[in-house]
Chains A and B, each alone.
Chain A
Amino acid sequence: MELNFENITKSYKNKQVLKGISLTMGTGVYGLLGPNGAGKTTMIRIMADVLRPEKGSVTYNGNDIYAAGDEYRANIGYLPQDVSFYDDFTGRDYLEYSAALKGMEKKRAKERIGELARSVGLSDDLNKKCTAYSGGMQRRLGIAQALLDDPKILILDEPTSGLDPYERIKFRNIISAYAKDRLVLLSTHIVSDVEQIAAQIMMMEHGIIQHVKTCEEYIRMMEGRVWLVNMPAEQLVDYQNRAVISNVRAKDGCMVVRVIEDAKPDGGAVQAVPTLEDAYLYLFNYLPEKNGR
């Protein structure tokens, strides 16, 4: 399986939101990380065929997805960023309606709805109105909807927003198990959502995919760039304005500050073990600031 973006651009009015996205995705989990406004949702909408690019083409196994039309969309499961519902639909209605939209057979739809309701923990709530669901429940219902027809391509736009920590963990497990032989694209601005499950992580900013690497590669990239510095609390305020700080901890009346910096900072800094979050800060905060300085 191969999904290919070829120089995709998209503008709203005169603001270019996607500036030439080219990339190839195969099977596995892809994380799409980037700050708000980076263009993640726009890219995902193009992939889900609800938005058309201005230039460039998206192909699935070599075929243009807009030419393939119904045939391409039959492979998609899509969780939009804003899940919405009809006023008088219950959770079950919503899933049955989605099944009808996907052209699923009645019997199979019924089985899948039962299965998925169990795995997202909504079995007891299926007969309640969707509009009475909490944010997290709505999101989980949306996830069930996206998984309904066993799609070859699963596209999730900020799937974890509104989920509590336990629900997030459950979600990650569902996705990990699901991703075999399939393509899962998951957008988020929360690093921990993807660091454990994504085979490839794409860092997106200002409508450009800046990097596509594995989590390990990002961490390796950060070696020698993350430091722990001890300093008195009074100095911290001033220091914060000059450096990108990923964490501050109080220890023995002193502050242990985790700093992102290309060169070793003054004052007895020691190297720390980098994480993906450090890479995120490095790429989206440290580098832009440094270039601006």
Chain B
Amino acid sequence: MSLFRFELRKLLLNKKTLFLLICLLILYSVVGLTSTMFLIGGNDSYRAYEEAATDWEGTFDSEKAAEAEKIYKEVSARYGTDARMIARSVKDQPEIILAVNYHAYAERVDEYWIGTPPESTDEPYGIALLQDKIAELERRGQRNSLEYREFSASLQRLEELGEPQFANTLLWENLFNNWGEHMMQFLLFVPLTFVIAPVFAMERSCGMDNLILSSRNGRRKIVTAKLLSVLVASTVVVMLYLTATFIFGFLPHGSFHGWDAAIQSIPTYAQSMFQFKVWQLAAIGAAWLIFTGAVYSLIICFISSRMKSRIGTAGVSLAVLFVNVALAAMGDTVTQRLGALVDFGLANVTMIKEVFGGYKAFNVFGMSVGYPVMAIFILGIFAILAVWGIYRGQKNRTV
């Protein structure tokens, strides 16, 4: 217990790290604040948007869609079709933003019924498209194929979820942007790397290994203490990020509007097959970041136990974190051949959008396993291997 207290102090509760944490807290608050402030002009614009949106929320309404379409045409003639460009240009006109959003929503409803274009490489989505694919497989007599079962399950799921509804989830969209995009990795996982990196490497660089390795508890108990302190430290850093972006994301507008909507109302999650409410996704997303942060930290811990310096550890850890971004950037041939590496590389698996935003399934010995379950399984294996390697390494370590 007391060894754990010391390890925690060395890793987290010392002046340098606490100072870093305070800086991070400020940074995160600023990120939360600015992302929400520039979302839709000032506070008044948001109020106006929220008020106007209440009339539009709910099931699909073709009259409203027509009206939105008209406004959208006018706007896009002037500002182009890029939704973000439009949003930036008409910041102070909430009614227009609302119409543009409703127009996008109408397209998503179409997609729900008709489906993604056949040439799309994504998982098939949409009632009609899935029905077609299933019919085709039936014609070919492939009722027992994995694909057939997958498509049927998807279709059934889509029908259960029902047609997406329109909801004002602006503030939550902003939250999920902050929590689930690459930006989060730079703001959260990169600093986390530097917090965790010294855990073992510092003993080497400052020469304390002599004392540690020659002591009774220096080869096993200390590893337990260090691992625990790493988990605490990573949870603290992630919680810092989550709380700061949460509080400052909602505070300026003083509203949680949209918390009870289905996540399919959020554009990025429109094709999600998970039957979550927005608040549930937020809870799951937070838990997901804590979990993946912990696994990543254990991997850093392993790297640290093999390296001489903190900087070296950080470098290798960041390479591990972003390796799949590089792979994915190499193009389709690489992505296809090393698909698993891209899917379960840390840069992907730490993003809730990737994990909960669609319905990827994997064929594991003939069983169809969903992305989150598969990710938990694979990350679990990473974590176990890392921990095992750390214990083994410390047992055989020399100065």
- Residues of A with Cβ closer than 8 Å to B? 45, 48-52, 69-70, 73-74, 76, 78, 80, 82, 84-86, 88, 93, 96-98, 100-103, 106, 145
In angstroms, how far is the closest chain B Cβ from the Cβ of A100?
4
Contact with A along B339-359 (1 / 0, CB 8 A): 000000000000000000000
Give CA–CA (A101, B209) in the complex, Å: 12
State the 5 A-B residue pairs at the shortest beta-carbon distance, nearest first: A84-B207, A80-B210, A101-B215, A74-B216, A48-B214
Query: Can you list 19 A-B pairs, Cβ within 8 angstroms, ordered by A?
Result: A49-B214, A50-B398, A69-B219, A70-B216, A70-B217, A76-B215, A78-B211, A80-B211, A82-B210, A84-B210, A86-B206, A88-B16, A96-B2, A97-B6, A101-B215, A101-B218, A102-B216, A103-B216, A103-B221
In angstroms, how far is the closest chain A Cβ from the Cβ of B5?
8
Residues of B contacting A103 in the complex (Cβ-Cβ under 8 angstroms): 216-217, 221
Question: Do A100 and B2 touch across chains, with their CB atoms under 8 A apart?
Answer: yes
**Which among B14, B216, B396 has the greatest number of chain A C-beta atoms within 10 A?**
B216
Residues of B contacting A84 in the complex (Cβ-Cβ under 8 angstroms): 206-208, 210
Give CA–CA (A98, B15) in the complex, Å: 21
Residues of B contacting A52 in the complex (Cβ-Cβ under 8 angstroms): 396, 398
Question: Do A50 and B214 touch across chains, with their CB atoms under 8 A apart?
Answer: yes
* Given A45-B399, A51-B398, A102-B215, 4 extra CB contacts under 8 A: A49-B214, A100-B2, A102-B216, A103-B221
In angstroms, how far is the closest chain A Cβ from the Cβ of B214?
4
Contact A78 to B214, CB < 8 A, known contacts A50-B398, A50-B399, A88-B15: yes
In angstroms, how far is the closest chain B Cβ from the Cβ of A148?
10
Question: Do B222 and A101 touch across chains, with their CB atoms under 8 A apart?
Answer: yes
Pick from A70, A101, A145: contact of B3, CB below 8 A. A101
Give CA–CA (A82, B208) in the complex, Å: 9
Give CA–CA (A73, B215) in the complex, Å: 6
Residues of B contacting A78 in the complex (Cβ-Cβ under 8 angstroms): 210-211, 214
Residues of A contacting B215 in the complex (Cβ-Cβ under 8 angstroms): 73, 76, 98, 101-102
Pick from B6, B210, B214, B399: contact of A73, CB below 8 A. B214
Chain B residue nearest in CB terms to A52:
B398
Question: Do B211 and A101 touch across chains, with their CB atoms under 8 A apart?
Answer: yes
Question: Do B208 and A86 touch across chains, with their CB atoms under 8 A apart?
Answer: yes
Chain B residue nearest in CB terms to A145:
B211
In angstroms, how far is the closest chain A Cβ from the Cβ of B9?
8
In angstroms, how far is the closest chain A Cβ from the Cβ of B106?
60
Residues of A contacting B15 in the complex (Cβ-Cβ under 8 angstroms): 88
Give CA–CA (A49, B14) in the complex, Å: 30
In angstroms, how far is the closest chain B Cβ from the Cβ of A11?
14
**Residues of chain B from 1 to 54 with CB closer than 8 A to chain A in the complex:** 2-3, 6, 10, 14-16
Residues of B contacting A74 in the complex (Cβ-Cβ under 8 angstroms): 216
**Residues of chain B from 355 to 399 with CB closer than 8 A to chain A in the complex:** 395-396, 398-399
B284 at the interface (CB under 8 A from A): no
Residues of B contacting A51 in the complex (Cβ-Cβ under 8 angstroms): 398-399
Contact A49 to B207, CB < 8 A, known contacts A70-B219, A73-B218, A86-B10: no
In angstroms, how far is the closest chain B Cβ from the Cβ of A230?
50
Contact count band on B:
20 to 34
Residues of B contacting A97 in the complex (Cβ-Cβ under 8 angstroms): 6
Give CA–CA (A158, B216) in the complex, Å: 23
Question: Do B210 and A50 touch across chains, with their CB atoms under 8 A apart?
Answer: yes
Contact with A along B201-239 (1 / 0, CB 8 A): 010001111111111111111100000000000000000
Give CA–CA (A157, B335) in the complex, Å: 56
Give CA–CA (A100, B221) in the complex, Å: 10
Give CA–CA (A97, B215) in the complex, Å: 11
**Which among A45, A74, A84, A98 has the greatest number of chain B C-beta atoms within 10 A?**
A84
Give CA–CA (A136, B206) in the complex, Å: 19
Residues of A contacting B2 in the complex (Cβ-Cβ under 8 angstroms): 96, 100, 106
Give CA–CA (A45, B214) in the complex, Å: 9
Give CA–CA (A98, B214) in the complex, Å: 11
Question: Do A98 and B211 touch across chains, with their CB atoms under 8 A apart?
Answer: yes
In angstroms, how far is the closest chain A Cβ from the Cβ of B68?
61
Residues of A contacting B211 in the complex (Cβ-Cβ under 8 angstroms): 78, 80, 98, 101, 145
Residues of B contacting A98 in the complex (Cβ-Cβ under 8 angstroms): 211, 215
Give CA–CA (A103, B6) in the complex, Å: 13
Residues of A contacting B218 in the complex (Cβ-Cβ under 8 angstroms): 73, 101
In angstroms, how far is the closest chain A Cβ from the Cβ of B20?
14
Residues of A contacting B396 in the complex (Cβ-Cβ under 8 angstroms): 52
Residues of A contacting B207 in the complex (Cβ-Cβ under 8 angstroms): 80, 82, 84
Residues of B contacting A96 in the complex (Cβ-Cβ under 8 angstroms): 2, 6
Question: Do B398 and A73 touch across chains, with their CB atoms under 8 A apart?
Answer: no
In angstroms, how far is the closest chain B Cβ from the Cβ of A142?
9
**Which among A52, A101, A106 has the greatest number of chain B C-beta atoms within 10 A?**
A101
Give CA–CA (A48, B14) in the complex, Å: 30
Contact with A along B128-147 (1 / 0, CB 8 A): 00000000000000000000
Give CA–CA (A69, B220) in the complex, Å: 10
Question: Do A70 and B14 touch across chains, with their CB atoms under 8 A apart?
Answer: no
Chain B residue nearest in CB terms to A75:
B216
Pick from B6, B209, B216: contact of A50, CB below 8 A. B209
Chain B residue nearest in CB terms to A99:
B2
In angstroms, how far is the closest chain A Cβ from the Cβ of B8?
12
Chain A residue nearest in CB terms to B398:
A51
In angstroms, how far is the closest chain B Cβ from the Cβ of A130?
11
Residues of A contacting B222 in the complex (Cβ-Cβ under 8 angstroms): 101
Give CA–CA (A51, B397) in the complex, Å: 8
In angstroms, how far is the closest chain B Cβ from the Cβ of A35?
22
Residues of B contacting A80 in the complex (Cβ-Cβ under 8 angstroms): 207, 210-211
Pick from A76, A82, A88, A101: contact of B212, CB below 8 A. A101
In angstroms, how far is the closest chain B Cβ from the Cβ of A68?
11
**Residues of chain B from 88 to 141 with CB closer than 8 A to chain A in the complex:** none
